Amino acid sequence: MTVPNNNIRPLDGITVVSLEHAIAAPFCTRQLADLGARVIKVERPGAGDFARGYDERVDGLASHFVWTNRSKESLTLDLKQDDAMQVLDQLLSQADVLVQNLAPGAAARMGLSFEVLHECYPRLIVCDISGYGEGGPYEQKKAYDLLIQSEGGFLSVTGGPGEDEMAKAGCSIADIAAGMYAYTGVLSALMLRDKTGKGSRVDVSMLESLVEWMGYPLYYAYKGATPPPRAGAAHATIYPYGPFPAGDGKTVMLGLQNEREWVAFCEKVLLKPELARDPRFSANFKRSENRAELRAIIVEVFSSLTADEVIARLDAAPIANAHVNDMAGVWEHPQLKARQRWTTVGSPAGELPALLPPGRNASFQPRMDPVPALGEHTERLLGELGYAEGDIQRLRQQGAV
């Protein structure tokens, strides 16, 4: 990919101040940083973002933190102290965006509501991320990813069919959903400011973000209709669509979308062309109703084949299919390697691999700067704001930074 020498990024010159922890807000601001924004991450002195302590799996660093915090500057401030709040006010006077996902109501209690900030800094965009949003009976309720998966109905359609077989997503899907809507909300607010000259507020609820992603099961259960059942890794309403064992003990994932593919599957994969006309399986809803019988037939055919042989038949059909990779398989995925999607970023633990952002744009290279140590940029940022060395030492001694 050829990139112009000047490498102008879309958000060059944009400054984001973030009062963030865990996943939703850091995921949002890391993507803003990918596009060139300067992200100043405000953390508590001594402890920092509590996601720093989730684990030590990445050469002593936390996996969640490494994922969501590259390309940021870490500034420690104890916002309970007036001197620290003065530093924050100076930052906000020069910033374009404030992103926060503090506890419900905490930002407003510190004088950081959009209404107050808009009076002081009319061009400042404020993005508030919370579990349930402002107003309503759940406004003050604590919210974590698993709890939103539960409230948003995700658990009701995910997992195995038994009453005790519900399963959470293996990644922080509610946080990711909220982070994505915060990210796009900030981008749209920046575009709006170009038209109006004024900042605006982006209010993102984790619940609403995940419920938007639940649109299919919601409409499937419209007006009290039976919701899609939990079907493990299989599709709840399309069949065959899911995992099937091969004769070598490996698993193949496959999916059919229409009747043309069903005929091809019978003829070229199962080598049973007569099955395409079997009245038990002649339409998707019939195949779904009779999935136990159809699964037995598929498993029997696949039992004499290796996973690679099954995939070869599926590719020849052609029927969509996939390997069931573990994390080691994803690290070594040939498609990611062939497209050169891995790079490295610095960190307090040294160089670490990092996936380049999806949505590659040939006109610029994304920003891929180091994961910061706690408070790494405090002195430099205070210096930029005009604080002398003696003032910085005083702030340190009183624990304000």
For 216, half-sphere exposure in the C-beta direction (CA atoms, 13 angstrom radius) is: 8
CA-to-CA distance for 382 and 88, rounded, in angstroms? 10
Q: Report domain extents, the chain.
A: 15-213+334-397, 241-324
Query: pLDDT digits over 72-108, tens only?
Result: 999 999 999 999 999 999 999 999 999 999 999 999 9
3-class DSSP assignment, residue 125: strand
Which two structure tokens, joined as six digits, stand for 52?
């720093």
Please answer whether residues 229 and 161 qualify as being in contact, where contact means their C-beta atoms are separated by less than 8 angstroms. yes
261-294 pLDDT tens trace:
999 999 999 999 999 999 999 999 999 999 999 9
Distances (CA, A) of 365 to 10, 29, 30, 261, 352: 10, 17, 15, 40, 18
Backbone angles phi, psi at 31, to 5 degrees: -70, -35
- 242: helix, strand or coil: strand
| Region 224-253 average pLDDT | 93
Query: What pLDDT is recorded for position 2?
Result: 53
Dump the DSSP string for 141-206.
----HHHHHHHTTTGGGSB-SSTT-B---SS-HHHHHHHHHHHHHHHHHHHHHHHHS---EEEEEH
Q: Please name every residue paired with 42 in a beta bridge, in sequence order, or none if there are none.
A: 19, 75
| CATH code for residues 15-213+334-397 | 3.40.50.10540
Q: What is the mean pLDDT of the chain?
A: 95
Q: How far apart are CA 140 and CA 142, in angstroms?
A: 6
Q: CB burial class (10 A; 0-12, 13-18, 19+) of residue 106?
A: middle
Tens-place pLDDT, residues 305-353:
999 999 999 999 999 999 999 999 999 999 999 999 999 999 999 999 9
Q: How far is CA 44 from the centre of its chain?
A: 24
Residue in 398, 380, 347, 395 with CA at minimum distance from that of residue 75 = 380
Question: What pLDDT sits at residue 232?
Answer: 87
β 201-205/241-245 pair status? unpaired
Phi-psi region for residue 350, left (φ > 0), alpha (ψ -120 to 50) or beta?
left
pLDDT on residue 63: 98
CB 41 within 8 A of CB 49: yes
pLDDT digit string, tens, across residues 246-268: 999 999 999 999 999 999 999 99
Q: pLDDT band at 5, cuts 50/70/90?
A: low
For the domain 241-324, what is the CATH superfamily, name and number? formyl-coa transferase, domain 3 (3.30.1540.10)
Q: How does pLDDT run across 17-44, given as a tens digit for each residue? A: 999 999 999 999 999 999 999 999 999 9
Would you say residue 167 has pLDDT above 60?
yes
pLDDT at 164: 84
Q: Is pLDDT at 3 greater than 80 in this prediction?
A: no
